[in-house]
Amino acid sequence: MESQYKPSSSVSARGKSDPAWEHIALSTAADGTKVYTCLFCEKEVRGGGINRLKQHLAGIPGSITACKKVDHDVRYRMSEYLKEISGKKKEASIAKRRF
């Protein structure tokens, strides 16, 4: 399978360069589960990855409830960020299909 890594200059330390970390705290539960905490509403999410917290911050319904305390500015940035990610994925599959 193709690697999901993009040879982008901004990606170095995996994950921690993500702007979402400004609004999310990561801790580890006693059983080793990663626990993500929204710094706006203090909602805790066990497992699932940071993308679920981004959906929470962006107010995208689906796998998680929307944050009720997030700044408008942050919500906008997170939704733009998620759009960017899904846009890149689409581009890649279109390129493949064309060939």
Q: Is position 50 an interface residue for Zn ion (rule: CB under 5 A)?
A: no
Looking at 8-16, 17-25, 33-41, 58-66, which segment touches Zn ion (CB under 5 A)?
33-41
**Separation between Cα atoms, residue 47 and residue 35, nearest integer Å:** 6
Q: Find the shortest distance in angstroms from Cβ 25 to Zn ion.
A: 11
**Separation between Cα atoms, residue 23 and residue 53, nearest integer Å:** 9
- Element of type H or E holding 51: helix 50-58
Residue 49: what residue type? G
| Residues forming beta bridges with residue 74, ordered by sequence position | none
Q: Find the shortest distance in angstroms from Cβ 59 to Zn ion.
A: 10
Looking at 19-27, 37-45, 72-80, 90-98, which segment touches Zn ion (CB under 5 A)?
37-45
Q: Which residues bind Zn ion (CB under 5 A)?
A: 38, 40-41, 43, 67
